[in-house]
């Protein structure tokens, strides 16, 4: 999965797929079918950084009957290709590619050897998703979750080998000897990998993880829509208080925080970001979308999908990873800290995220600030205030005085 994310969008492709001039066309067909690559460089010896002779694309081989012919007979030759010289900035390369109307742009050194390759597909995806978070090579930043036991070190090694950028340590209570030792091992073994540690709800918990080397802190215990930790174990903290207190301490250490749990509306996200969180993690808000795991089914005329907590018995009995999160994978009796339920179909997550982003923009606009970084500063400086709302104020802040109404949160033209 990590490899798929990292390959979805490339900036400069540092090791483009290449073949030698004598490679038969049937091998090109095999590469296309198995790897989905439609443009393959033809270089000296098939070296990804060898001297460029040409490029072979789907259009060059689709109507060739004899698939045993070498690609040198059908390739687009170097003299007919648009190329650029290294060094070159990615925006410049993309601009040259767009003006050339070709599918690929090889970047060569003075010896005509391949340095990088730029693809039109990536240029199109850059236009479609202009706000994507990218690494230094122009690929998507990818995070992956892991538990914190010794046998999870092999998982981390595999994730790093696949190109992961961030590790999210998966634990309901992050201030443990397991997690502290695991953070130290990751930062010693893979210092370039960022670690999002947690979950915590107090400043002392956050301090221990930051001292161990955590790059970010996740805040929340028992506040998720399918979590019953506070009810069953009497452990946790009101999410607003936890986010404010922990984020204030983390900010003094230069560490960003993530509000995890209890966010039901755009207004909740706004409040979390205003009181200190740098990131909002969404679970229940995105559940029921087409892209989430599970199959839709119908009940009482509604299209539903299963949504379960990782602390539910269903999740813990299916595999040991959920048990690790709640420190109970080897226990004879497992105590549920979550439930399993059903949520209504919400359509595509693309449209829902568009609504959330637009809602946050309008929220900051109405507050009178250009961004939530500015909102947060104004809250800390006392310029933006929170007011206690009575039951009457809460009632008048919602829909009232109507016989009936249809509450639709957004209309999308996407």
Peptide bond preceding 199: is omega within 30 degrees of 0, i.e. cis?
Answer: yes
The conformation of residue 62, written as its DSSP 8-state character, comes to T
283 annotated ligand-binding residue: no
The conformation of residue 269, written as its DSSP 8-state character, comes to H
161 annotated ligand-binding residue: no
Peptide bond preceding 87: is omega within 30 degrees of 0, i.e. cis?
Answer: yes
Nearest to 220 by CA among 202, 195, 204, 234: 202
The span from the CA of 79 to the CA of 73, in Å, is 15
18 annotated ligand-binding residue: no
CB 175 within 8 A of CB 208: yes
In 3-state terms, the chain is what percent helix, strand and coil (to 5)? 40, 20, 40
170 annotated ligand-binding residue: yes
The span from the CA of 228 to the CA of 83, in Å, is 59
In angstroms, what CA-CA distances link 241 with 61, 95, 374? 63, 48, 20
CB 78 within 8 A of CB 90: no
CB 293 within 8 A of CB 307: no
81 annotated ligand-binding residue: no
Beta bridge partners of 299: 302
Beta bridge partners of 117: 13, 106
202 C-beta neighbours (distance < 10 Å), count: 17
* Beta strand residue intervals within 104-191, DSSP E: 104-108, 114-119, 143-146, 166-169
- From the list 9, 139, 218, 325, the catalytic residue is 325
171 annotated ligand-binding residue: yes
The span from the CA of 6 to the CA of 142, in Å, is 7
The conformation of residue 141, written as its DSSP 8-state character, comes to P
267 annotated ligand-binding residue: no
Beta bridge partners of 140: 134
222 annotated ligand-binding residue: yes
Active site residue 125: no
Active site residue 227: yes
- From the list 9, 142, 218, 227, the catalytic residue is 227
Tell me if residue 76 falls in helix, strand or coil: strand
373 C-beta neighbours (distance < 10 Å), count: 12
Query: What DSSP line would sit under 90-105, residue for residue?
Result: HHHHHHHHHHHT-SEE
Instruction: List residues forming the annotated binding site for K(+).
Output: 222, 224, 227
Instruction: List residues forming the annotated binding site for NAD(+).
Output: 170-172, 220-222
The catalytic site residues sit at 227, 325
Instruction: List residues forming the annotated binding site.
Output: 170-172, 220-222, 224, 227
């Amino acid at each position: 999965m990590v490899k798929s994310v990292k390959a979805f969008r490339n900036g400069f492709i540092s090791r483009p797929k290449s073949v030698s001039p004598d490679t038969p066309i049937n091998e090109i067909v095999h590469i296309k079918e198995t790897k989905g690559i439609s443009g393959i460089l033809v270089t000296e010896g098939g070296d990804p950084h060898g001297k460029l002779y040409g490029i072979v694309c789907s259009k060059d081989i689709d109507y060739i009957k004899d698939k045993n012919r070498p690609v040198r007979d059908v390739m687009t030759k170097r003299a007919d290709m648009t190329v650029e010289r290294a060094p070159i900035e990615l925006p410049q390369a993309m601009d040259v590619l767009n003006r050339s109307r070709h599918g690929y742009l090889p970047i060569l050194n003075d010896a005509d050897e391949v340095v990088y390759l730029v693809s039109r597909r990536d240029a199109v995806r850059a236009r479609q998703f202009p706000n994507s978070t990218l690494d230094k090579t122009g690929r998507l930043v990818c995070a992956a979750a892991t538990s914190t036991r010794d046998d999870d070190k092999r998982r981390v090694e595999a994730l790093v080998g696949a190109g992961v950028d961030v590790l999210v340590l998966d634990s309901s209570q992050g201030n443990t000897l397991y997690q502290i030792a695991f953070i130290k091992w990751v930062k010693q073994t893979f210092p370039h990998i960022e670690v999002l540690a947690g979950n915590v709800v107090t400043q002392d918990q956050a301090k221990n993880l930051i001292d161990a080397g955590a790059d970010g802190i996740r805040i929340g215990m028992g506040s998720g829509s399918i979590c019953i930790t506070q009810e069953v174990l009497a452990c946790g903290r009101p999410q607003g208080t936890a986010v404010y207190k922990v984020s204030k301490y983390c900010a003094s250490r230069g560490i960003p925080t993530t509000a995890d749990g209890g966010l039901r509306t755009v207004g909740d996200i706004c409040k979390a970001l205003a009181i200190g969180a740098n990131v909002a993690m969404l679970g229940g808000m995105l559940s029921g979308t087409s892209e989430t795991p599970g199959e839709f089914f119908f009940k009482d005329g509604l299209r539903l999908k299963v949504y379960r907590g990782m602390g539910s018995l269903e999740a813990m009995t299916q595999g040991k990873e959920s048990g690790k999160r709640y420190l109970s994978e080897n226990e004879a009796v497992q105590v549920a800290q979550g439930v399993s339920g059903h949520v209504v179909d919400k359509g595509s997550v693309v449209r829902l995220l568009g609504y959330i982003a637009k809602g946050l923009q309008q929220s900051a606009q109405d507050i009178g600030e250009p961004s939530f970084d500015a909102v947060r500063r104004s809250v800390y400086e006392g310029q933006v205030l929170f007011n206690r709302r009575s039951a009457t104020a809460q009632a008048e802040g919602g829909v009232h005085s109507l016989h009936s109404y249809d509450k639709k949160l957004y209309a999308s033209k996407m």
